[in-house]
Copies of this chain bind each other. A is one copy, B any other.
């Protein structure tokens, strides 16, 4: 466990950092829980509400925000014999958050999981081999955490 050297400030101020921008977009409890549900296939207002048990005002606000940010797409769906209603599906932008949420799931399994075996795990298609979040180089080979170097002004 390498100690991080002391710094008075981050190398990039939060205002001009894309991590900080990303946090503005998804760094919110309800927003993250909505994305979690969406990644599992939930699409409809009442299903989100039943799952999250959050106030409907909050839900409609967050859904609107996620649509505005481009993570969700709102479009009508029509079940036969029912009137058309909106559904919210993940855009490519939203789908590309999946590795991050899987990484966070595994972090939770490791540190918050009370020693039990995780209720959800992830494997490579066609195998039973568990996978994990890590860093890779251009060739797709793992780079260990202590090998990571930060480069400013890329």
Q: Measuring CB to CB, which residues of chain A are less than 8 angstroms from any residue of chain B?
A: 1, 3-14, 16-29, 32-33, 36-44, 47, 50-52, 70, 89-90, 92-93, 95-105, 107-113, 117-125, 127, 129-138, 140-143, 145-154
A28 to B25, Cβ gap below 8 A? Answer: no
A25 with B112: in contact, given A4-B40, A19-B101, A140-B141 (CB under 8 Å)? yes
Write the nearest CB–CB distance from A17 to chain B, whole angstroms.
7
Query: For A32, what are the chain B residues with a Cβ–Cβ distance below 8 Å?
Result: 23, 27
Q: Are B20 and A154 neighbours in the complex by a CB distance under 8 Å?
A: no
The interface residues of chain B lying within 8 Å CB-to-CB of A23 are 29, 32-33, 36, 104
In the assembled complex, which residues on chain B have CB atoms less than 8 Å from the CB atom of A50? 8-9
Contacts of A93 in B (CB 8 A): 111
Contact B89 A22 (CB under 8 A): no
Residues of B near A131 (CB, < 8 A) are: 135-137, 143, 148
A132 contacts across to B, CB distance below 8 A: 135-136
CA distance A20 to B138 in the complex (A): 32
**Chain B residues with CB below 8 A from A70, complex form:** 111
**Neighbour of A136 across the interface among B40, B113, B136, CB < 8 A:** B136
Say whether B135 contacts A133, CB under 8 Å.
Answer: yes
**A148 contacts B122, C-beta separation under 8 Å:** yes
Query: What is the chain B residue whose CB lies nearest that of A42?
Result: B7
The reply to whether A18 and B119 contact each other, CB–CB distance below 8 Å, is yes
Listed from nearest, the 10 A-B pairs whose CB atoms lie closest are A18-B108, A7-B41, A140-B142, A22-B108, A121-B154, A117-B154, A19-B105, A10-B40, A27-B29, A21-B112
